[in-house]
Amino acid sequence: MMRRIDTDVLVIGSGFGGSPAALRLARAGLRVVLVEKGPRINPYRDFRQTQDPQYLLKYIRGMAGNNLNLTYAEALGGGSGFYEMVSLRAPRKAFVQRDQASRRLWPEGVDRDRLDPFYDVGERKLNVEQIDPALVPKSGLVFASMMKNLGYSCERARYAVRGCLGSGFCVTGCIYGAKQSLLLNYIPQAESAGATVETDLEALYVKPLSRLLPDRSGALPTTPVRYEVVCRSTEDGAQKTVFRTKLLILASGTVGTAKLLLQSRRFFRHLSRQTGRNIAFNGAVKVAGLLPDGFPEGDMFTGRSHPGMISYEFLESRGVTISAAKPMPLQVLASVRLRLDGDGPRPLHWGRDHVELMKQYRRRMMVLVAFGMTPPGGEIRHLHGDSFSLDLDVDDSLRTYYEETKELLNGILSRNGCRLVYAEFVDHEGRPYDDIHFSTSHQVGSCRMADDARRGTCNADGEIFGNPGLYITDGSAIPTSLAVNTSLTILANAERIVSNIVRRYCEDRAITRSAA
Amino acid sequence: MSEPFVSIEVGEARAQQMTRREVLEVLAAVGLGLFGVSACTPARILLRDYPAEFDTEPLRVDRTLRAFVTAVVPGMDPSEANLVRAFYDSYFPLEPHRNFLAAELSRYARERYGRDRFDLLPYEHRVRVIQDGLDEGGIIARIFGGAVFLTQIACYSGIYDDEQGCSLVDFEGRYRVRPISETSYDHPERFLPTATTVDGNPA
Answer whether B16 touches A (CB < 8 Å).
no
Q: Say whether A495 sits in a helix, a strand or coil.
A: helix
The answer to the question of residue B175 being in a domain is no
Among the partner-chain residues B169, B183, B189, the one whose CB lies closest to the CB of A358 is B169
Please report, for chain A, how many H helices and E strands are present, in that order.
Answer: 14, 21
**Which B residues, 129 through 188, put their C-beta within 8 Å of a C-beta on chain A?**
130-131, 134, 142, 145-146, 148-153, 156-160, 162, 165-166, 168-175, 177-178, 180, 182-185, 188
Radius of gyration of chain A (CA): 23
Dist CA B170 CA A168 (whole Å): 14
Helix (H), strand (E) at residue B138: helix B138-157
ipTM (interface pTM): 0.93
Instruction: Tell me which CATH code domain A1-127+172-278+444-516 carries.
Output: 3.50.50.60
Partners of residue A74 in chain B, C-beta under 8 Å = 12
Determine, for residues A327 and B6 on separate chains, whether the beta-carbon distance falls below 8 Å: yes
- Reported as a pLDDT band with limits 50, 70 and 90, residue A207 is very high
Residue A445 pLDDT > 50: yes
Instruction: Tell me which CATH code domain A132-161+284-373+395-435 carries.
Output: 3.30.410
Sorted by sequence, the CB contacts under 8 Å of residue B177 that are 6+ apart come out as A165
Residues of chain A with pLDDT > 70: what percent? 96
C-alpha dihedral, B105 to B107 to B110 to B112, nearest 10°: -70
In this prediction, residue A277 carries a pLDDT of 98
Residue A492 pLDDT > 60: yes
Determine, for residues B199 and A130 on separate chains, whether the beta-carbon distance falls below 8 Å: yes
- Reported as a pLDDT band with limits 50, 70 and 90, residue A222 is confident
Residue ranges per domain, chain A?
A: 1-127+172-278+444-516, 132-161+284-373+395-435
- Reported as a pLDDT band with limits 50, 70 and 90, residue B126 is very high
Q: State the nearest Cα–Cα gap between A28 and chain B, in angstroms.
A: 30
Among the partner-chain residues B1, B150, B162, the one whose CB lies closest to the CB of A441 is B1
The answer to the question of residue B18 being in a domain is no
C-alpha dihedral, A441 to A446 to A447 to A449, nearest 10°: 80
- Reported as a pLDDT band with limits 50, 70 and 90, residue A215 is low
The answer to the question of residue B126 being in a domain is yes
The answer to the question of residue B19 being in a domain is no
Round the average pLDDT of chain A to a whole number and report it. Answer: 94
Window from A60-74, A132-146, A192-206, A495-509 with minimum mean pLDDT: A495-509
Sorted by sequence, the CB contacts under 8 Å of residue A502 that are 6+ apart come out as A24, A25, A28
Partners of residue A301 in chain B, C-beta under 8 Å = 170-172
Burial degree of A377 (CB within 10 A; 0-12, 13-18, 19+): buried
In this prediction, residue A369 carries a pLDDT of 98
- Reported as a pLDDT band with limits 50, 70 and 90, residue A49 is very high
Partners of residue A430 in chain B, C-beta under 8 Å = 145-146, 148-150
Determine, for residues A440 and B7 on separate chains, whether the beta-carbon distance falls below 8 Å: yes
Please answer whether residues A103 and A325 qualify as being in contact, where contact means their C-beta atoms are separated by less than 8 angstroms.
Answer: no
The answer to the question of residue B54 being in a domain is yes
The answer to the question of residue B13 being in a domain is no
In this prediction, residue B188 carries a pLDDT of 96
> Cis ω on the peptide bond leading into residue A347 (within 30° of 0)?
yes
> pLDDT tens digits for B38-66?
445 566 667 778 899 999 999 999 999 99
Q: Mean pLDDT throughout B1-6?
A: 43
Residue A194 pLDDT > 60: yes
- Reported as a pLDDT band with limits 50, 70 and 90, residue A452 is very high
Residue A342 pLDDT > 90: no
Residue A386 pLDDT > 50: yes
- Reported as a pLDDT band with limits 50, 70 and 90, residue B1 is low
Residues of chain B with pLDDT > 90: what percent? 68
In this prediction, residue B53 carries a pLDDT of 94
Residue B10 pLDDT > 50: no
Residue A353 pLDDT > 90: yes
**Chain centroid offset of residue A196 CA:** 24
Dist CA A420 CA A226 (whole Å): 58
The answer to the question of residue B180 being in a domain is no
Q: Say whether A380 sits in a helix, a strand or coil.
A: strand
Dist CA A111 CA A93 (whole Å): 10
Window from A198-202, A217-221, A224-228 with minimum mean pLDDT: A217-221
> pLDDT tens digits for A460-475?
999 999 999 999 999 9
In this prediction, residue A115 carries a pLDDT of 98
C-alpha dihedral, A325 to A329 to A331 to A337, nearest 10°: 90
> pLDDT tens digits for A257-299?
999 999 999 999 899 999 999 999 999 999 999 999 999 999 9
Angle at A504 between CA A503 and CA A507, to 5 degrees: 45
Dist CA A36 CA A13 (whole Å): 5
Residue A516 pLDDT > 50: no
Determine, for residues A57 and B11 on separate chains, whether the beta-carbon distance falls below 8 Å: yes
User: Over the range A463-494, which residues count as b (16 or more CB within 10 Å of their CB) and which as e?
Assistant: bbbebbbbbbbbbbbbbbbbbbbbbbbbbbbb
In this prediction, residue A508 carries a pLDDT of 55
Dist CA A466 CA A485 (whole Å): 31
A203, A251, A458 from A34: Cα distances, Å:
11, 10, 21
Please answer whether residues A369 and B5 qualify as being in contact, where contact means their C-beta atoms are separated by less than 8 angstroms.
Answer: yes
In this prediction, residue B67 carries a pLDDT of 98
Residues of chain B with pLDDT > 70: what percent? 78
Dist CA A451 CA B143 (whole Å): 51
Domain that holds residue B52: 32-169
Q: State the nearest Cα–Cα gap between B56 and chain A, in angstroms.
A: 29
Residue A20 pLDDT > 70: yes
In this prediction, residue B6 carries a pLDDT of 32
Percent helix, percent strand, percent coil in chain A, to nearest 5: 30, 25, 45
Return the higher-pLDDT residue of B177 and A344: B177
What one-character-per-residue DSSP string does A251-269 give? -SHHHHHHHHHHHTGGG-T
- Reported as a pLDDT band with limits 50, 70 and 90, residue B177 is confident
In this prediction, residue A54 carries a pLDDT of 93
Residue A347 pLDDT > 90: no
- Reported as a pLDDT band with limits 50, 70 and 90, residue A216 is low
Dist CA A168 CA A303 (whole Å): 5
Angle at A183 between CA A179 and CA A186, to 5 degrees: 105
What one-character-per-residue DSSP string does A331-353 give? HHHTTEEEEETTS-SSSTTSSHH
In this prediction, residue A93 carries a pLDDT of 97
Please answer whether residues A263 and A271 qualify as being in contact, where contact means their C-beta atoms are separated by less than 8 angstroms.
Answer: no
Q: For chain B, how many structural domains are there in total? A: 1
The answer to the question of residue B184 being in a domain is no
Residue A28 pLDDT > 90: yes
Q: In what order do the strands lie in the sheet with A60-64?
A: A60-64, A68-73, A438-440
CA atoms within 13 A on the CB side of A443: 37
Radius of gyration of chain B (CA): 21
Please answer whether residues A281 and B168 qualify as being in contact, where contact means their C-beta atoms are separated by less than 8 angstroms.
Answer: no
Residue B154 pLDDT > 50: yes
Window from A75-84, A103-112, A268-277, A425-434 with minimum mean pLDDT: A425-434
Determine, for residues A363 and B75 on separate chains, whether the beta-carbon distance falls below 8 Å: no
> pLDDT tens digits for A294-324?
999 999 999 999 999 999 999 999 999 999 9
